[in-house]
Amino acid sequence: MPSLLFRARHTPLAHAALLLVLALPLQGALAQTGAPAPTQRFDMAAQPLAAALDQFARQAGLQLVFAPELAAGRQAPALHGQLPLREALDSLLKNSGLHGRMQDGTLTVETAPTRESTLAEVRVQARRAVDGTTEDTGSYTSRVTSIASKSDLAFREIPQSVSVVTRAQLDDRRLTEVRDALAATPGITTTLTNAEAANFFSRGFQIDSMQVDGGAPLNISNFTYSAAQNMDFYDRVEVMRGASGLLGGVGDPGGIINIVRKKPLAEPRVTVQQSLGSWNNYRSMLDVTGPLALEGRVRGRAVLSYTDSDSFIDIKHQRSPQFYGIIEADLSPDTLLTAGLSRANIRRRGEGGGDVPRYNDGSDIGLPRNTSLTQPWSTGFTQNSELFAALEHRLNPNWRAKLNVTRTSSDYDGTTAFGYGALDRETGTGVTWNGGGHYLYKNTQTVVDASLSGNFSLLGRTHELVLGVDRQSVESFWNVGYSSDPSGVVPIDVFNPGSWQPAAAGPVSRRYNPWGQKQLGGYGVLRLHPTDRLHVILGGRYAKYKFNQVYESMDAAGNWELASGSRFSEPGKFSPYGGVIYDLNSQWSAYLSYASILKPQALSKSGPPPGDSLAPVKGKSYEAGLKGELMEGKLNATFSVFHVARTGTAVLDTRYPSNHEEWSGNCCYLPQGRVTSRGFDVEVGGELRPGWQASAGYTYVSTRDETEGAPFSSITPRHLLKLSTAYTLPGELSAWRVGTSAHIQSKHYVKDTLYDADWNPVRSYDFSQGGYAVWNAMLQYKVDPRWTLTLNINNLFDKTYYQSVGYASGSNYYGSPRSAMLTLRGTF
């Protein structure tokens, strides 16, 4: 079935028909296994159990059958959120000694039989309680996260700033890719490296590492791998800001990302979803989960996703079938095995292009947002695959061991066409066609993490310890064959680009092969609790790092010549980590922390030529703040102040002539740079009141290049506010939900220099983009207990702005104009 889906050419009608064809047999099969009622939105106050059961039955459309004396004198807790009926009913009846059965439209409540719950039920209920799963909660926050260590911690137990984008936010805002989710995350700035790929920044520094399910980090900053995960496959996205050397290995002190996969559910469920949007954007999704065998001890989940879409940029088109599958098996009451895979085939037309140039004095040309400096013959095919497995074993009630393995592979084969150069206002020249080459690249990453976590007693108190080892191996290559027609010669009329047809690309004549890095590290975190209120965290990482790159080019005689070779090996280095948390009361805590990280500079070399790689830069961050866990844990709040410093950054050594070859080892530099970032974060997320979810974060950051005496980052705005909220209307209007979200930031400022073909400076310039606000809206209607219809309008006021501000010669990407997306979702 998946292979048929991957080859099919879908129209919008075919999308919907395919989902129905797949869903109806599955729905029937699940019904035979006792499929539960679908999810339902509940906003019920704490009240007598009899009244609560009556309200529950009315909202769920069930006839209630029970003896009222069974509920006499019993209270039911409050119930809020989008929940499966079974889970909601179990919450109402918890500790009551009663059991409810839902069958054929009738709810029967009776005295619970004296039997133990099945293993599958225990496992899944425990997961929701302790690992932060956000699916079906309807919440804009999670109770716990594992991003700061290998143990599950509440946000108050982490002495750094942490944000989460939950499943409810992903669904409400139709955030379909990981870059969409990070664009909605407080304190995070996203920039486009091309129309399809993005980089992520926090506190002025790039985020280099991404964990999956809290495992060893993937490298997301090299040019052969782009974080483009499909959010249909994931439960939530978590971000910890600040240095993350403890678990992230090497990188900048900006932060680390953790994306958490959807897991199988204990009860059968089928979800179908069809979206139709602006620019012929059609997206289909089928999500099937439930028990597979052995009385629920083996559970599975499969997700099919298909996208077929044009773009607001002319010529560009993308088609992408994707698949995700996962199986969980309880090998014993204490051992859980998880294994799965994902696959994505992405075909694009109009590769390259997407960005626009500026005038050579840095001022804006004012081109239409649909301007496309690419060609229809420029196409690309990317194939992403992932295999993963995890084994978790509880040694005893206090200790747990876990092994987590992920292997990703990304292959690309394509051609490209793009415009490059700054426009001369007087002559209208300066922008030329570039590309015309045939690009082949591959990136494979294997990450392994093994950890042991638990608690122990010392001096009459209980403390926690986490120990682990991890390994990251990245293997890549990038090969290019160029056209016989020289690139950068044919001029472009940017107001009417027209066509460009260079000769077909020839054989590979330039190759970066191999390109790779390896990390091997060990880490530990000790959480001490000297008093009930005082908590001390001590930790560190000891790691080794290797980098290897060979760059070769072919000469006129067809012989390969070594242009650059960069081999770098960093001996074992220790990165310390520490923090103190003091509980002011049952809801608020104050904290102070220190974290560090290293970033190798293998491609920046010291003189004299050819030079040796510089020592790694060192990054460290200090943070202090307050954290609150409010509304019985349904609302998290953070206020933090931070100071981040990075030292040893490469700066040009003027004693030697400059040698610049993009993506290669360059000479010559000195490790003298020092950059700093200071500011504060304010963030709240979760339930403000019953039926009202919100996430809001404001970040102030000031970066400075201490060597140059000037601002360091033109990417990160000084002021950044992000908010997202959804409200369920009360009473008879409870079938309706309304929501809004916004991205509001201060101006960008860019100061740079134009260079000629030999990298000699031609002209310095500066320019800025003023602050802007982009507002979005959501309207949702629950047609019946199974079907929901949602309308999303992005860039509601059709604001014209640049999402990414680059240089006079390019890398300026417009933000999307106003667009709409209508989504029909059914749960069975």
Instruction: Give per-residue pLDDT as tens, 353-363.
Output: 889 999 988 89
69 vs 599, higher pLDDT: 599
The pLDDT value given to residue 465: 94
253 vs 286, higher pLDDT: 286
Both tokens of 7, joined, read 């080859």
In which band, very low, low, confident or very high, does the pLDDT at 302 lie, cut at 50, 70 and 90? very high
Residue type, 690: P
Strand partners, 744: 721, 773
The pTM for the full model equals: 0.83
The pLDDT value given to residue 757: 65
* In the predicted structure, residue 343 carries a pLDDT above the cut 70: yes
* In the predicted structure, residue 14 carries a pLDDT above the cut 80: no
The pLDDT value given to residue 24: 44
In which band, very low, low, confident or very high, does the pLDDT at 63 lie, cut at 50, 70 and 90? low
Distance CA 738, CA 729 (A): 8
* Average pLDDT for 139-144: 90
CA 61, 67, 72, 74 torsion-angle sign: negative
639-659: burial string, b at 16+ Cβ within 10 Å, e else: bbebebbbebbbbebeeeebb
Instruction: Give per-residue pLDDT as tens, 618-672.
Output: 889 999 999 999 988 889 999 999 999 999 888 888 888 766 665 677 788 888 7
* In the predicted structure, residue 4 carries a pLDDT above the cut 70: no
Residue type, 560: W
The pLDDT value given to residue 663: 62
> ω into residue 608 within 30 of 0, thus cis?
yes
Cβ atoms of 625 and 611 closer than 8 Å: no
In which band, very low, low, confident or very high, does the pLDDT at 35 lie, cut at 50, 70 and 90? very low
* In the predicted structure, residue 128 carries a pLDDT above the cut 70: no
* In the predicted structure, residue 30 carries a pLDDT above the cut 50: no
* Average pLDDT for 695-717: 88
* In the predicted structure, residue 557 carries a pLDDT above the cut 90: no
The pLDDT value given to residue 655: 85
* In the predicted structure, residue 592 carries a pLDDT above the cut 70: yes
* In the predicted structure, residue 266 carries a pLDDT above the cut 80: yes
* Average pLDDT for 185-194: 90
* In the predicted structure, residue 121 carries a pLDDT above the cut 50: no
- Portion of the chain with pLDDT greater than 70, in percent: 89
Q: What is the per-residue DSSP string for 290-336?
A: EEEEGGGTEEEEEEEEEEEEE-SSTT-EEEEEEEEEEEEEEEETTEE
Laid out side by side, the sheet with 98-103 consists of 63-65, 106-111, 98-103
The structure tokens 């960008």 sit at 748
Task: For residue 785, give Cα distances in angstroms to 27, 82, 205, 730.
Answer: 15, 11, 46, 17
What kind and span of H or E run contains 168? Answer: helix 167-173
Lowest-confidence segment of 461-465, 550-554, 582-586 by average pLDDT: 550-554
* In the predicted structure, residue 289 carries a pLDDT above the cut 50: yes
In which band, very low, low, confident or very high, does the pLDDT at 39 lie, cut at 50, 70 and 90? low
In which band, very low, low, confident or very high, does the pLDDT at 69 lie, cut at 50, 70 and 90? low
Cβ atoms of 191 and 206 closer than 8 Å: no
The pLDDT value given to residue 817: 97
Mean residue pLDDT of the chain comes to 86
Instruction: Give per-residue pLDDT as tens, 434-471.
Output: 988 899 999 999 999 999 999 999 988 999 999 999 99
The pLDDT value given to residue 64: 74
- Which domains, and CATH codes, for the chain? 2-119 (3.55.50.30), 261-827 (2.40.170.20)
Cβ atoms of 303 and 286 closer than 8 Å: yes
* In the predicted structure, residue 431 carries a pLDDT above the cut 80: yes
Distance CA 277, CA 195 (A): 19
Strand partners, 520: 471, 544
Strands 255-261 and 209-212: parallel
* In the predicted structure, residue 11 carries a pLDDT above the cut 60: no
Instruction: Give per-residue pLDDT as tens, 307-330.
Output: 999 999 999 999 999 999 999 999
Task: For residue 739, give Cα distances in angstroms to 275, 314, 778.
Answer: 18, 31, 5
Cβ atoms of 248 and 256 closer than 8 Å: yes
779 vs 119, higher pLDDT: 779
* In the predicted structure, residue 475 carries a pLDDT above the cut 80: yes
* In the predicted structure, residue 737 carries a pLDDT above the cut 60: yes
SS3 per residue for 229-276: CEHHHEEEEEEEECCCHHHHCECCCCEEEEEEECCCCCCCEEEEEEEE
* In the predicted structure, residue 22 carries a pLDDT above the cut 50: no
Query: Which residues have CB under 8 Å from 746's CB, separation 6+?
Result: 717, 718, 719, 720, 771
Distance CA 14, CA 759 (A): 52
Q: Which of 683, 644, 605, 579 is nearest to 251 (CA)?
A: 644
Distance CA 577, CA 175 (A): 34
The pLDDT value given to residue 25: 47
* In the predicted structure, residue 759 carries a pLDDT above the cut 70: no
Residues 105/110/114/117 CA torsion (nearest 10 deg): 30
- Portion of the chain with pLDDT greater than 90, in percent: 55
Beta strand extents in 606-718 (DSSP E only)? 613-630, 635-652, 666-667, 669-689, 692-705
Q: What angle do CA 315, 317, 319 make, to 5 degrees?
A: 165
- CB count, 10 Å around CB of 66? 18
Instruction: Give per-residue pLDDT as tens, 72-116.
Output: 767 788 777 777 888 888 888 887 878 888 865 678 888 775 433
The pLDDT value given to residue 114: 46
The pLDDT value given to residue 521: 92
Task: For residue 705, give Cα distances in angstroms to 253, 257, 367, 617.
Answer: 15, 26, 33, 14
In which band, very low, low, confident or very high, does the pLDDT at 43 lie, cut at 50, 70 and 90? low
The pLDDT value given to residue 153: 86
In which band, very low, low, confident or very high, does the pLDDT at 18 lie, cut at 50, 70 and 90? very low
The structure tokens 């010529």 sit at 315
Strands 106-111 and 63-65: parallel
